[in-house]
Amino acid sequence: MSDVIFQNNPIADIPDADLGPVQSAVAAARQSALTAGGKVAGGVITAADWNLLAGAVADLAGAVQNLTTLVAPRGHNHPEIATKIDEVQSNLRNFADAFGRSILEIRRQFEVQQLADKLDEANVIDHASPGTRDDFKKRLDDLRDASLTDPIQYTQKLANYGDIFMNKMNDIAATPDGAAILNDPAVRESVERAKAYSAAGTQRKPENELQVYLKSSAGATRARKEI
């Protein structure tokens, strides 16, 4: 795929129409009409005079007809400008797509970093299940590596992370210290984010994926306020 996102081709230079032959025909018709004119009252109009005048009118009509094919009337299309407008529209679409992908990638990286930071704080998890935090950190690295994939692939991985995290927390909840562990601030925030991922499942559109992150952030904020 080409690395060029934007095009900036100059507007096509349409050659000027050659109106010289039309001008010559009109001038000749004018001269013929003047030659046939000059009659005085009662003067005779001969067949030659009539034929000369008729020929001048016919030449003038032909010149006007040619003129309509060489010069477009008011309100006509400019194909070169239409092409440029199409190019500008394409550039806008490409910009929107590129910008949207960048925003989504940044939001994914931010979300993963939030999860990683909370795992670093949640030391209590390892007390109940040694190695669990390291396992989830590896899963977060996998999410980072997949940050450029399409929404379907990425949110599948994200939902899977949420499911596995929630299942692990349910197992920890069954341990003697489970209640205290789940009440840890970092764990509570991580659980809320995992719930959002699991509940959202696979998303097909970038805008829907971004909505998942808004819900996960809202859940984490609620968890902090309840502490």
pLDDT tens readout for residues 9-57: 776 666 777 778 878 888 887 887 777 777 666 677 677 777 777 887 8
Task: Name the token pair of 192.
Answer: 């809320």
Between CA 142 and CA 148, with CA 143 as vertex, the angle to 5 degrees is 110
Rg (CA), the chain: 39
Going 143 to 203 to 213 to 208, the CA torsion angle's sign is positive
Task: State the pTM of this model.
Answer: 0.63
Give alpha helix (H) positions in 40-131: 47-70, 79-121, 124-128
Note the pLDDT tens digit of each residue in 118-157: 999 988 888 888 899 999 999 999 999 999 999 999 999 9
| Residue-level pLDDT at 79 | 76
Point out the least confidently predicted range of 92-106, 145-159, 162-176, 205-219. Answer: 92-106
Confidence at residue 227, expressed as pLDDT on a 0 to 100 scale? 63
Residues 14 and 81: beta-carbon distance below 8 Å: no
In angstroms, the Cα distances linking 107 to 103, 173, 204 are 6, 31, 16
Task: Report d(CA 165, CA 224) in Å as an integer.
Answer: 19
Give the 3-state secondary structure of residue 18: coil
- Tell me the domain boundaries of the chain: 20-70, 98-226
